[in-house]
Amino acid sequence: MDQGLNFFDTAESYQDGFSEERIGRALRGKRHQVFLMSKTYEPAHRDAQGAQRHLEGSLRRLQTDYLDLWQLHSVQSPQDVDLAFRKGGAMAYILRAKEQGKVRFIGVTGHRDPDANLRAIHYWDQGWTFDTMQMPINPVDFFQTSFQKKVLPELVKRNIGVIAMKTSADGRLLRDKLCSIEDCLRYVWSLPVSVAVVGMLNMAQLRHNIEIARNFYPLKPQEKQILLDRLRPHARPSLEWYKR
């Protein structure tokens, strides 16, 4: 936070709530300094009662009386979206929670199927307006089941905030030495995204990523093409296992 990082991403399902508990303890006395996001995930039902229970638990564990952003977590398919957006579904309560001031902004996340995200946008067009969508964006996503090709333009048209996740394909682009974290972050930040969620394991990685952000400049078209040409022969579904 002292270095300017203020966006915290968690969910009630992460480590059975332990992630929220740790963040809640860490943010005591500092809540007003951060933008705090959590999510609700109950794929079997996607109902309002479950969403309400999740929000109450998240607020308790995070030791706060409101969230800056609360999202419907990990939509799997168009049918899953229909379940959540039905009368009495999870999204009905998410909208109500925003009206009640329990959350400032609301959104939808999905990393499996772009068509699921597009189905949520269909409901946005029907009046179920949400503020953000979180989805995978990284260089290799360009080649396979691409969110940046299918979904990103639709979000930009509607001025829906874009939260990029899986920015290094869950670390696989780095572990396979296909590109660097700087390549990944510069690629993502050069697209029309609002924020990038980046996983880090230690302070050294945190400091390195802060340095990349401070020195960021957009990829030139030729730089982007060189990166994509380098990755093209290596694109394969196993790099983005979360899309299966």
pLDDT in tens, 130-160: 999 999 999 999 999 999 999 999 999 999 9
Domain 7-243 fold is TIM Barrel (3.20.20)
Residues 3-48 have pLDDT tens digits of 888 999 999 999 888 999 999 999 999 999 999 999 999 889 999 9
Provide the sign of the torsion angle of the four alpha carbons 64, 55, 21, 214, taken in this order.
Answer: negative
CA–CA distance from 122 to each of 31, 108, 115, 189, 242 (Å)? 34, 12, 10, 26, 23
| Mean per-residue pLDDT over the chain, rounded | 97
Q: What sign results for the dihedral spanned by CA atoms 193, 198, 203, 204?
A: negative
Asked if 183 and 151 count as a contact pair (C-beta separation under 8 A), the reply is: no
> Which tokens go with 143?
């080649």
pLDDT of 62: 98
Report yes or no: 163 and 132 within 8 Å, Cβ to Cβ: yes
